[in-house]
């Protein structure tokens, strides 16, 4: 990382003094205002360790729509509900594509993803399949019992370590991975006792970390091929291993289908394999794997973190809430009655129905 800083600094310095013509004359006529940056690196150095706070402070000075330069990438930042609505709602078609980070583009068959393909017919087709085959209330209801089971496993695990600190984020993340893997493959992909088989969890985590790392290749596209920080080389290993794990599961399922042509698991893999067999289908084993991977990546950290934040919020207001564990196994959070003593240690009370 040090070497990258020195490299970018030297290039900046040289180009600052040489100032090629194309850099001096940039067309900024129609762009919203924004802070002055340095040549070459633009505003990158101004972002700081908490970019959301920096951008919020900048918006006070430059307005709800401002222009920043991240290396050679011009970025427009919308910081108010009205401007955001213009972009995400009124002009959603124009803005529906995402910039694809180099670490994501390097995965095998990126054209098979859902989150990163352009908003064309292939994207619409994948969206339709996910929303009709995975996220319908009927499908979700069918798997409700299973989600309860997973939450109970999580609580049982936490109870086993009563009195010792628990990393809720990590456990919630593992639980979410199993919720997704059961919806897609009908298997627990992480050990339900949270004690072994952590490989999958670590792979998903490493892919997310690599995708979130600031990468010189994304700000200076001409440097992509050098992969100066080694992000691409690093993430490729995780993608390859994930595909191997998926290959293994898919091969087992195909074998099962050969021996038993009628029984179906009723999961998302069955849906995708059925679609693959349709005439003119644009699905193949190679292109269903990136879609499955997208669901794991997009669904696990978001849900895990939301649980962690919700727990943190509850702990901060521990005196106001109790968690009820009903006889049916249903969990709910209730406002504590005056009969429950406030907890000075900020510990949430987990009670049965009759607390
Ligand atoms: C608390 C949980 C979650 C949060 C906060 C969350 C948030 C988001 C957000 C903000 C987006 C971007 C939307 C956009 O750009 O239009 C997104 C996209 C996406 N999410 Fe989630 N999500 C959550 C759970 C899940 C789960 C459980 C799954 C699947 C198992 C999932 C799959 C996806 C996919 C595939 C996309 C890309 C959709 C596309 O590009 O068309 N998410 N999510």
pLDDT tens digits, 243-277? 999 999 999 999 999 998 888 888 999 999 999 99
Q: Is 316 in the pocket of ligand 1 (CB under 6 A)?
A: no
**Helix, strand or coil, per DSSP, at residue 38:** strand
Cα Rg of the chain, angstroms: 25
Please answer whether residues 276 and 284 qualify as being in contact, where contact means their C-beta atoms are separated by less than 8 angstroms.
Answer: yes
d(CA 161, CA 41): 49
What's the pLDDT score for residue 346?
A: 47
d(CA 288, CA 280): 15
Q: Considering only CA atoms, which residue is closest to atom 26 of ligand 1? A: 299
Q: Is 180 in the pocket of ligand 1 (CB under 6 A)?
A: yes
C-alpha dist (Å) from residue 181 to 110, 136, 168, 200, 296: 21, 17, 20, 11, 8
Quote the longest CA-to-CA distance of the chain. 77
Q: Considering only CA atoms, which residue is closest to atom 29 of ligand 1? A: 299
In the chain, DSSP finds a helix count (H) and a strand count (E) of 14, 5
Question: How far is the centre of ligand 1, averaged over its atoms, from the C-alpha of 70 (Å)?
Answer: 25
Q: How many angstroms from the chain centroid is the CA of residue 4?
A: 27
What's the pLDDT score for residue 10?
A: 56
Q: Is 301 in the pocket of ligand 1 (CB under 6 A)?
A: no
Choosing from 100, 184, 269, 298 the residue with most ligand 1 atoms within 8 A of its CB, the one to mutate for a pocket test is 298
Name the stretches of the chain with pLDDT < 70: 1-28, 192-197, 318-355
**Helix, strand or coil, per DSSP, at residue 74:** strand
Please answer whether residues 303 and 172 qualify as being in contact, where contact means their C-beta atoms are separated by less than 8 angstroms.
Answer: yes
Q: Considering only CA atoms, which residue is closest to atom 2 of ligand 1? A: 303
Question: How far is the centre of ligand 1, averaged over its atoms, from the C-alpha of 336 (Å)?
Answer: 33
Q: Using one digit for the tens of pLDDT, what is the confidence trace for 144-170? A: 888 889 888 888 888 888 788 888 888
Question: How far is the centre of ligand 1, averaged over its atoms, from the C-alpha of 176 (Å)?
Answer: 14
pTM of the model: 0.83
Exposure string of 103-141, with b = 16+ CB inside 10 Å and e = fewer, is bbebbebeebbbbbbeeeebbeebeebbeebbeeeebee
What count of other Cβ atoms lies within 10 Å of the Cβ of residue 328? 7
Q: Considering only CA atoms, which residue is closest to atom 13 of ligand 1? A: 115
Domains of the chain, first to last: 2-96 (no CATH), 121-316 (1.10.630.10), 318-355 (no CATH)
């Amino acid at each position: 990382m040090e070497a990258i800083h020195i490299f970018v600094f030297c290039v900046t310095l040289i180009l600052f003094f040489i100032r090629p013509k194309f850099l001096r004359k940039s067309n900024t006529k129609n762009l919203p205002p924004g802070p002055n940056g340095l040549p070459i690196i633009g505003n990158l150095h101004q972002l700081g360790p908490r970019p959301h706070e920096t951008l919020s402070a900048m918006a006070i000075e430059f307005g709800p729509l401002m222009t920043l330069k991240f290396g050679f990438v011009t970025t427009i930042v919308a910081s108010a509900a009205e401007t955001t609505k213009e972009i995400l709602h009124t002009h959603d078609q124009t803005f529906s594509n995402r910039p694809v980070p180099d670490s994501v583009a390097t995965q095998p068959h990126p054209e098979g993803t859902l989150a990163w393909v352009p908003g064309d017919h292939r994207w619409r087709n994948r969206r339709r399949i996910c929303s009709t085959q995975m996220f319908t209330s009927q499908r979700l209801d069918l798997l409700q019992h299973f989600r309860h089971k997973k939450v109970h496993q999580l609580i049982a695990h936490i109870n086993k370590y009563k009195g010792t600190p628990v990393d809720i984020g990590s456990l919630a993340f593992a639980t979410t991975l199993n919720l997704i893997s059961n919806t897609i493959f009908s298997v627990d992909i992480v050990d339900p006792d949270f004690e072994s088989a952590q490989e999958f969890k670590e792979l998903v985590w490493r892919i997310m970390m690599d995708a979130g790392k600031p990468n010189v290749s994304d700000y200076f596209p001409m440097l992509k091929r050098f992969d100066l920080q080694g992000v691409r080389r690093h993430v490729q290993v995780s993608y390859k291993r994930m595909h191997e794990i998926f290959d293994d599961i898919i091969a087992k399922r195909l074998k099962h289908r050969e021996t038993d042509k009628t029984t179906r698991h009723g999961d998302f893999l069955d849906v995708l394999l059925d679609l693959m067999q349709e005439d003119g289908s644009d699905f193949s084993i190679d292109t269903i794997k990136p879609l499955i991977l997208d669901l794991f990546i997009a669904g696990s950290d978001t849900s895990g973190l939301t649980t962690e934040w919700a727990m943190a919020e509850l702990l901060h207001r521990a005196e106001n809430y109790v968690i009820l564990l009903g006889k049916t196994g249903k969990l709910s959070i209730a406002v504590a009655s005056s009969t429950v003593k406030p907890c000075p240690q900020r510990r949430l009370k987990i009670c049965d129905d009759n607390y």
